[in-house]
Amino acid sequence: MKKISFVLNGEKRNIYVEPNDLLLDVLREKLGVKSPKYGCGRGDCGLCTVLINGKSARTCLILAIEVDGQEILTVEGLSKDKLTPLQESFIKHNSFQCGFCAPGMIMTATELLEKNSNPTEEEVKEAISGNLCRCTGYTPIIEAILDVNKK
Amino acid sequence: MEEFKFIGKPVDRLDEREKVTGAAKYVDDIEFGPNLLYTEIIESPHPHALINNINTSEAEKVEGVVKIVTGKDFPYKFGLYMKDRYIFAQDRVRFIGEQVAAVIARDPKTALKAAKLVKVEYEPFSAVFDPVEALKEDAPVIHPELGNYPHVPWFFPKGGSNVAHLRKVRKGDVEKGFKEADFVLEDTYRIPRYAHCCLETHIAVGLLDYSGRLTVWASSQSPHTQRNLFADALAPLGFSHKDIRVIAPYVGGGFGGKAGVTMEIIAAALATAVKGNPVKVIWRRDQEFYNTYMRLQVMSKIKVGVKNDGIITAFEITNYWDAGPYAEYGANVVNASGLSATGPYRMPNVKIDSYCIYTNLPAAGPYRGFGYSEMLFSVESHMTRIAKAIGIDPVEFRRKNGIREGDSLTYGAPMNPNGLLEAIDKVAKEIDWGKKETLNDPDKAIGKGFAIFWKAPAMPPNVSSTAFIKFSEDGSLNVIVSGMEIGQGYLTAMAQIAAEVLTVPPEKIRIELPDTDRNPYHWQTVASHVTWANGNAVKRAALQIRDRIFEVVHEVYHYDKDTLYLEDEKVKCKLHPSFELPLKDFVIEGIQTKDGTYRGGAIVGSGSFMPEFTSAQQDPETSQGGHPNVHYTVGAAAVKIEIDKQTGKVRILKAVEALDAGKAINPMNVKHQIYGGLLQGFATALYEDMRFDENGKILNPNFTDYKIPTSLDIPDEVVPIIVEVPQPDGPYGARGIGEHPMIPAAPIIANAVEDALGVRIKSMPMTAEKIAMAILNDKKEVDDFLMIMKK
């Protein structure tokens, strides 16, 4: 077991992990942060996406010990006070159906809008192309992201 | 026309905020405490073998292992329509990946380590993977005991063979019909297996507490059906329905894959072996591909005769469905699509043979579309070919032959009111049918394809649906039901129906997800029937509440009940305009009378619905008589595609789909079903593709090798169209539309490919490779079928 410390949704956390513990399992099982989901275990689906130092990352492909000293943001962190304009836009557009892809999709789109506040439709499609959704046909998700900062 | 306040409006989804904040809980998000146990399943490496011995002694020595169970511990059969399945394999295994034993341990790593030490001795048999091969005399018989299996009375298994069920339809005189025809076209189409690919894999957690009560939390479309099947299978252990509780939180995608019972029964059974400890069974992505359900494979031989004027005189089809080794649910796919195999056409002379055949591929079962997507690929490809062959425009051909209200169905009952012709016209207009598009780029080709479709709910004739409604002090409502929100917008639709009757806005309504202890009965969330069936139950519960409200008001104020009505959450009276009584003032605490006493009390309502005109009593040789289907939802669709002639890649420029929703309770959610369902269908048409090696082992059980669509794969434009010809017995005229959007996707692509290139592709998927090779080799017809990869 190795002690690591990192900032999770604005709060410093210390925790003991095994060297082969996946970040996804540590977040869900040891820290009770349930929004990142298991979907494939090999980086194909994007359900487990969180932001590490502002960059989207697949927590099923990252060992927990790698995030020592880093800063992690999940949907729980976005939802603490009032929701972000992106989240409000998803609600307005009724974008999600089963909702299982929503946390990962939201983190990926959050990263996109941080880098590019007014993306084109093609840029949105490109940005979320690593986040699978089986329900929506993506259209209501793309529309919601495009709508966030629409003048 | 009746004016509605909430019905037919794009009311916001009730569950969206929970899902967008990460608050929505799925089974694996629930905490089960430190004594939660984990499992690893020992799976068969053979497609067909006897189990001679299982040695668990080495595995049991691993520290942290709590228990190891095998088939001997649970010698119980189960199944939805036919009991042909075991919780764990008994004396034989029938597909690669079948569960043979399970290790239960304190943590997942220990379970995995111990599972590798379980030694199973097998004696392999010959196996069969092709449904037609499986019908041959010398084919290995996969269920020697088939003749003794209990099944519903409308199944006809053939003991001693691999035929799990044969649905035969005979209507009119098909030979006479072919003699009358001026033109007959006969051909064969093939459709492989497909996977649902719910993003949440199957998961179930079982707990048998020390008092003997068994609770199962499951990602499920079917909590009550699961309780029923668990109680039935585990009855030898002393369980009754009262002892079993199924709790179903949010589901991360269903598409039919989480209907009925598959792996959930493993969690229920394992819990009985480790009393006092919750035990979790969760599928990894690869297990999700091979050990739940898949879509059935089918080979479809079809023959259709027409007069020169385009009128269909005879229709004959033989479908050879491969259901894998367990057909307890898949046989009903074969049954339902057999009864409706003509597609939405008026047909005087019909002959249908729909075979459900056991093979040694993994078990296949319900998948969005329930056999209709597959069948309509064959029928709608064929109809376009016939129309073109006799020189009639394919859309005109469908207008001529499309089924109308009152026309006799294959089994003799009349067709329900429907907007098929309206759908045809609206889609043809939107896609600019008849207008030939041209391109300047010689490396590209452009084409349009058109199809019509239908689907009826497939279910027993007597399935029931119920609802409870209760008030809170502020006049808000809890609607307690057991349909499942699998993403389709069910919760919102039920809220809109309750809202419409009781004038309480949907944002003041909470719908409870199913818990079989608390929530009233609903069969399963399948068959696109919940809006119709559960909607009727919710409406009846709301009407019962309204009656009770009027009764109480009458008792205190003596206004005639017929003069009372609800408006804006108040009771009002037509004869006394100044009277208004807010619901919140009395629905819990009653109405105070002049002497200070109260009348009424907390108001609750219940509603129950079951169709009373349906019957599965049909002649087994002809399917005549009876009324197995409640109604059909119909529609039309078209596509405009551009094909890169160098690579064969298809780009969808525009897709149009019209559905007759009867009455769209929530038009926004109907449109969202069309976006999602069409894309799911286009993926099956163009690139999704389940492959097996020659031993029946799945080769692509992951999203790298089994590609589902990403945001970069969507059509350039999708136009959803809602047609509304009311269903007389539907709530506000509604009928289901959930499965339907994906049904026409494959034939419209096939028909568009032919329009663009003159190449007819008769096997799915229509990959870029197939198209490019056809162009390269100048082939006009393609029937390559690559599901089983030969060495």
Which has the closest alpha carbon to A17: A9, B104, A28? Answer: A28
- CB within 8 Å of chain B, chain A residues 43-72: 44-45, 47
Of B609, B638, B668, the position where a domain reaches its end is: B609
Instruction: Report long-range pairs for B563-570 (Cβ below 8 Å, ≥24 apart).
Output: B566/B501, B566/B502, B566/B503, B567/B503, B568/B503, B569/B475, B569/B502, B569/B503, B569/B504, B569/B505, B570/B503
| B216 and B255 belong to one structural domain | yes
* pLDDT higher than threshold 90 for residue B167: yes
B491 with B602, same domain: the answer is: yes
Asked whether residue B394 falls in the same domain as residue B491, the answer is no
Tell me whether residue B616 is in a domain.
no
B172-205 per-position pLDDT tens digit: 999 999 999 999 999 999 999 999 999 999 999 9
Whether B15 contacts chain A with CB within 8 A: yes
Beta bridge partners of B636: B452, B658
For residue B28, the chain A residues in CB contact (below 8 A) are: 28, 34, 37-38
Q: Is residue B155 part of a domain?
A: no
Q: Which of B199, B284, B674 minimises the CB distance to A101?
A: B199
Q: Taking 80 as the threshold, does the pLDDT of residue B380 lie above it?
A: yes
CA B32 to chain CA centroid, nearest Å: 30
Interface predicted TM-score (ipTM): 0.98
Q: Is residue B356 part of a domain?
A: no
Q: Is residue B340, in this structure, part of any structural domain at all?
A: no
- Where a domain ends, among B609, B644, B679? B609
Overall average pLDDT of the B747-756 stretch: 98
- Is B50 in the same domain as B96? yes
User: CATH classification of A2-74 is 3.65.10.10, yes or no?
Assistant: no
Q: What is the CATH number of the domain that holds B506?
A: 3.30.365.10
Residue range B95-104, pLDDT digits in tens: 999 999 999 9
Please state the three-class secondary structure of B286-341 as a single string.
HHHHHCCCCCCEEEEEEEEEECCCCCEEEEEEEEEEEEECCCCCHHHHHHHHHHCC
> pLDDT-based confidence at B283, cuts 50/70/90?
very high
Going by pLDDT thresholds of 50, 70 and 90, the confidence category of residue B733 is very high
Contacts of B501 (CB under 8 A, 6+ apart): B539, B542, B543, B545, B546, B566
* Spatial separation of the C-alpha atoms in residues B263 and B347, rounded to whole Å: 41
Question: Do B560 and B593 sit in the same domain of this protein?
Answer: yes
Per-residue pLDDT of B3-35, as tens digits, reads 999 999 999 999 999 999 999 999 999 999 999
- Looking at the domain assignment, is residue B338 inside a domain? no
Cβ distance B711 to A135 less than 8 Å, yes or no, reads no
Q: Is B8 inside a domain boundary? A: no
**Main-chain phi, psi angles of A22, to 5 degrees:** -80, 145
Which pLDDT belongs to residue A150? 83
Residue B350 lies in a domain: no
Domain that holds residue B215: 32-125+202-282
CA dist., res. A130 & res. B265, Å (int): 34
Which of A20, A135, A142 is the best mutation test for B, with the most CBs of B within 10 A?
A135
Which pLDDT value is given to residue A151? 61
How many angstroms from the chain centroid is the CA of residue B130?
24
Please state, in angstroms and rounded to a whole number, the distance separating the CA atoms of residues B632 and B483.
20
Q: Nearest CA to B100 among B56, B146, B140, B149?
A: B56
Considering the domain architecture, whether residues B211 and B243 belong to the same structural domain is answered as yes
Q: Which of B266, B282, B298 is the last residue of a domain?
A: B282
Please state the rounded mean pLDDT for residues B601-628. Answer: 96
Nearest to B679 by CA among A125, A42, A56: A125
Q: Based on the domain organization, do B496 and B481 belong to the same domain?
A: yes
Give domain limits for chain A.
2-74, 85-147
Chain A residues whose beta carbon lies within 8 Å of the beta carbon of residue B248: none
For chain B, what is the domain count? 3
Superfamily grouping for domain A85-147: [2Fe-2S]-binding domain (1.10.150.120)
- pLDDT tens profile B535-583: 999 999 999 999 999 999 999 999 999 999 999 999 999 999 999 999 9
Q: pLDDT-derived band of residue B791, with 50, 70 and 90 as boundaries?
A: confident
Contacts of B656 (CB under 8 A, 6+ apart): B427, B430, B431, B637, B638, B639, B718, B719, B721
Q: Whole-structure pTM over 0.90, yes or no?
A: yes
Q: C-alpha angle B246/B100/B117, rounded to 5°?
A: 115
| Cβ–Cβ gap A125/B712 under 8 Å | yes
Cα angle for residues B485, B486, B492 (degrees, 5° grid): 35
pLDDT surpassing 70 at residue B730: yes
How much is the pLDDT for A41?
97
User: Which ranges in B181-329 belong to alpha helices (H)?
Assistant: 223-233, 264-273, 285-290
Give pLDDT tens digits for B329-379.
999 999 999 999 999 999 999 999 999 999 999 999 999 999 999 999 999
Which residues face B78 on adjacent strands?
B85
Same domain, B681 and B774: yes
* Binding-face residues of B in 199-218 toward A, CB within 8 A: 199-201
Residues 86-125 of A with CB under 8 A from B: 87, 90-92, 94-103, 106, 124-125
Position B438 scores a pLDDT of: 87
Do residues B27 and B219 make contact, with C-beta atoms less than 8 angstroms apart?
A: yes
Query: What would the DSSP string read from start to end of B58-80?
Result: HHHTSTTEEEEEEGGG---EE-S
Q: Is the pLDDT of residue B698 over 90?
A: yes
Q: What is the CATH number of the domain that holds B67?
A: 3.90.1170.50
Contact assignment for B676 to A135 by CB distance below 8 Å: yes
**B791 vs B93, residue with greater confidence:** B93
For residues B636 and B431, is the Cβ–Cβ distance under 8 A?
no
The nearest CA of chain B is from the CA of A78 a distance in Å of 8
Q: Which amino acid, B599?
A: R
Res B140: pLDDT: 98
> What's residue B1's pLDDT?
56
State whether B479 and B593 are in the same domain: yes
Round the average pLDDT of chain B to a whole number and report it.
97
Q: Is the pLDDT of residue B80 over 60?
A: yes
Asked whether residue B431 falls in the same domain as residue B531, the answer is no
In this structure, are B87 and B55 located in the same domain? Answer: yes
Tracing tokens 């053979």 back to the chain, one arrives at: B46
Checking if the pLDDT of B73 tops 90, the result is yes
In the predicted structure, residue B688 carries a pLDDT above the cut 80: yes
Run means of pLDDT, 10 residues per run, chain A, 151 residues = 97 97 97 98 98 98 98 97 97 98 98 97 98 98 96 61
Residue B69's Cβ-count burial label (10 Å; 0-12, 13-18, 19+) is buried
Residues B398 and B473 reside in one and the same domain: no
